[in-house]
Amino acid sequence: MRYFARKIGFYAVAAWAAITINFFLPRLIPGNPVEILMSRISQSGSPPPGEAKTLALLLGLSHGNIFSQYWHYLVQLAHFNFGISITDFPTPVSQIIASTLPWTIILVGTCTVISFMIGIVLGTIAGFKGGRWAEALIPSTTFLTSLPYFFLALLLLYFLSYEFHVFPLNGGYSDSVTIGFTWAFISSAVYHAILPSLTIILASIGGWLLGMRNMTLTTLSEDYVTAAEARGLPRRKIMINYAARNAVIPSITGFAISLGFVVSGSIAMEYVFSYPGIGYELLQAISNDDYALTQAIFLIITLSVLGANLIIDLLYGFIDPRTRQSR
Amino acid sequence: MADHLMYVAQGKSATAATTPTNNNYGPKAIVRYLKRLKRAFRSKKFIFGTAILTFFILVAIIGPVFATNPNGFVGPDMAAPSLKFPLGTDFAGQNVLYQLIDATGPSLLVGFEAGALATLVSVVIGISSGLIGGIFDEASTLFTNIVLVIPSLPLVIIVAAYAGSSGLTPTILVIAFTSWAAYARVLRGQTLSIRNRDFILASRISGEKLWRIVFMEILPNELAIIASNFIFMVVFAILTQATLAFLGIGDVSSLTWGNMLYLANNDEALTSGAWWWFIPPGICIALVGTALAFINFGLDEILNPRLKIARRKDRHPK
């Protein structure tokens, strides 16, 4: 139980750190962000009553000293009142997040799982079998990993959408369908998700693959593998039950860092495909000086990543009993 | 191939003898590393990586002499590659090849500067936390782990956008201060493992000053890891700067590969089929990344012979 308590405690502290960073960020903005926002809002239409106060509290720039500002900011967050957006006036920020977050979570989540599994399987085989095929795998995956996400997205978009018209140019679904639990919408969404998925999988698979290959090579020189070989166990069994099961552990512990990379990469990817996810929304908010929306999105992305990592860590406690004992 | 066989013949004792954390004394360890580095040139991967990187560094130094005035409107708009313009022209009739050459220096420099700064931070935090221990270690480990799990790009994007920036320096600083954490953790672990070895204890007992122990005993023993971390961070910094520039955040005026891609994407390079404008900068970024990764693979083969033993053993199953 101590393992789980420690993990939950750590992520609680990390979440607090993220919330505090978020509190200090608006102080980097030159000028008075609340005034800038209010004048922008007045251009788009009449602001709802009390909006200036909401924004001031949210950006941590209300009256009083820094501690009272911080306290009011926390209270504001606890009520999920993130103000209204200029980018999509006058939609509340929380509503924009609710409509964009699922796109990113489903896309990034699915692709990360697919990429992880393919990478682990190929990495195990490459490490165990070796040979020419595996040797050729290293330079090619290294090259793929060195391609920036957005450039890979540009390449796929250019060749498969502009040149050969196989896939749609942008967006998350066709304009002719409405969002809902219908076959027309789901098939359109899947069709639009193919290129973005391909980008994430191609760009992230190399890391899993190489890491798994190296760990497999390292485990192969362990005594228990030699013992298994000496006992004449089938090679398949040695590969899966002896080498892979032990070699996969660092990949799971490295998940936290990798997820950060994938989320970061997918922001640029969503920009290229104009995918209606939270990364694209973040960039639009930034280019519109929509501070309220920017702040809220930063918080949501960070907290989602922390949440996903907490889940992985807790699962890991179940997978590897040693982690529960030693700490 | 010879060293392959040597490792196999000597089995695990060879591994032990070449592990970097063994009975080294300060300056001697450095000499040993240099010797080992010379051996790295036997690795094809290392040579391959070094050759590509050297090429780009030469282009960065010598290129601007030939590629003068990369921003001049010298040709027709969006011209396909020809003898006069080997990589065609962009939307304003600027020579893409010249831009590519002149962007090499700044693109590499961002990577190396941010990489060096991040390495410095990771070395200071990692070693001090492993060496001092106690409350300080607990606190800095917590801090490191928090920096590690908070995704960096959204933060970098917002800081760069809010602070508004001129020149590449703010970008370098932001990248460096968000990317050191993973390596600080590695170095802390390494410091913990060598802190209580005999040669460190011996110099402590003989009354060596702390800074001498750090610079003469600990640092040389971690040089290999630090070098490899540095290379990874350079790659990461180059990719992050390119991403920021591509998204139009930070300084958009200085000429880097990322900025070329930003302009190409914004000025309809894709719709007008001008592949010669956006493909070369991306390929350059990937080539530099690949070259650095290969240098690391080469170093790894030398410094971590287990990778080789295992593979060798497996090719000739008993």
Write out pLDDT tens, residues A165-181. Answer: 777 777 777 767 777 77
* Vertex B5: Cα angle to B3 and B6 (nearest 5): 60
- B152 contacts B114 by C-beta, under 8 angstroms: no
pLDDT of residue B117: 93
- Supply φ then ψ for residue A92, to 5 degrees: -65, 145
Range 239-298 of B in CB contact (< 8 A) with A: 239, 242-243, 246-249, 261, 265, 270-271, 273, 275, 278-279, 282, 285-290, 293-294, 297
Taking an 8 Å cut-off on Cβ atoms, the answer to whether A148 and B243 are in contact is yes
Q: What's the rounded Cα separation, in Å, for the pair B297 and A303?
A: 35
Q: What's the rounded Cα separation, in Å, for the pair B244 and B114?
A: 14
Taking an 8 Å cut-off on Cβ atoms, the answer to whether B315 and A259 are in contact is no
Q: What's the rounded Cα separation, in Å, for the pair A110 and A118?
A: 12
Query: Which residues pair with residue A92 across a beta bridge?
Result: A84
Nearest-by-CA chain B residue for A229: B318
**Hey, is B95 helix, strand or coil?**
strand
Q: What is the mean pLDDT of chain A?
A: 81
Q: How far apart are the first and last CA of chain A?
A: 10
- B175 contacts B165 by C-beta, under 8 angstroms: no
Does B47 have pLDDT greater than 90?
Answer: no
- Split at pLDDT 50, 70, 90, the class of B115 is very high
pLDDT of residue B195: 80
Q: What's the rounded Cα separation, in Å, for the pair B55 and B255?
A: 19
Q: What's the rounded Cα separation, in Å, for the pair B127 and B193?
A: 11
Q: What's the rounded Cα separation, in Å, for the pair A49 and A60?
A: 19
The interface predicted TM-score (ipTM) is: 0.82
Q: What's the rounded Cα separation, in Å, for the pair B253 and A189?
A: 37
In tens digits, what is the pLDDT along chain A, a chain of 327 residues?
Answer: 778 888 888 899 999 988 888 888 887 777 777 777 777 777 777 777 777 777 777 777 777 777 778 888 888 788 777 777 777 777 888 888 888 888 888 888 888 889 888 988 888 888 887 777 777 777 788 888 888 888 888 888 888 777 777 777 777 777 677 777 777 777 777 777 888 888 888 888 888 888 888 888 888 878 888 888 888 888 888 888 888 888 888 787 777 677 777 787 788 888 888 888 888 888 888 888 888 888 888 888 888 888 888 888 888 777 777 766 654
The residue whose two tokens read 């590897």 is A320
Nearest residue to B11 via CA among B303, B316, B302, B310: B310
Give the tens place of pLDDT for each residue, B207-223: 878 888 888 778 877 77
Does B8 have pLDDT greater than 70?
Answer: no
Give the tens place of pLDDT for each residue, A141-150: 888 888 888 8
pLDDT of residue B255: 83
pLDDT of residue B219: 81
Mutation target to probe the A interface, by most A beta carbons within 10 A, among B10, B142, B162 is: B162
How is residue B207 annotated by DSSP? Answer: T
Give the tens place of pLDDT for each residue, B159-188: 888 877 667 787 888 888 888 888 888 888
Calculate mean pLDDT across residues B60-71.
76
Range 92-151 of B in CB contact (< 8 A) with A: 142, 145-146, 148-151
Please tell me the distance in Å from A278's CA to the nearest CA on chain B. 11
Query: Which distant-in-sequence residues (6+ apart) come within 8 Å of B230 by Cβ?
Result: B115, B116, B119
**pLDDT, greater one: B43 or B55:** B55
B101 C-beta neighbours (distance < 10 Å), count:
21
User: Whole-model pTM?
Assistant: 0.82
Does B5 have pLDDT greater than 70?
Answer: no
Range 30-59 of A in CB contact (< 8 A) with B: 30
Does B2 have pLDDT greater than 50?
Answer: no
The residue whose two tokens read 């020809």 is B82
Q: Using the Cα atoms of residue A140, residue A145, residue A147 and residue A149 in order, give the sign of their dihedral.
A: positive
As given in the structure block, the two tokens for residue A153 are 């997205």
Query: Which distant-in-sequence residues (6+ apart) come within 8 Å of A246 by Cβ?
Result: A219, A222
Give the tens place of pLDDT for each residue, A243-286: 888 888 878 777 767 777 778 778 888 888 888 888 888 888 88
pLDDT of residue A36: 76
Q: What's the rounded Cα separation, in Å, for the pair B196 and B189?
A: 12
Q: What is the mean pLDDT of chain B?
A: 76
Range 272-301 of A in CB contact (< 8 A) with B: 272, 282-283, 286-287, 294, 297-298, 301
Residue A214 sits at the chain B interface (C-beta within 8 Å)? yes
Produce one character per residue of A77-103: b if its CB has 16 or more CB atoms within 10 Å, e if not. Answer: beeeebbbbbbbeeebbbebbeebbeb
Nearest to B163 among A28, A128, A229 (CB): A28
Taking an 8 Å cut-off on Cβ atoms, the answer to whether A14 and B157 are in contact is no
Q: What's the rounded Cα separation, in Å, for the pair A18 and B279?
A: 37
Task: Residue A298: list chain B partners with CB under 8 A.
Answer: 154-155, 158
* Vertex A213: Cα angle to A208 and A216 (nearest 5): 120
- B152 contacts B178 by C-beta, under 8 angstroms: yes
- Split at pLDDT 50, 70, 90, the class of B37 is low
As given in the structure block, the two tokens for residue A284 are 């639009």
Calculate mean pLDDT across residues B54-80.
76
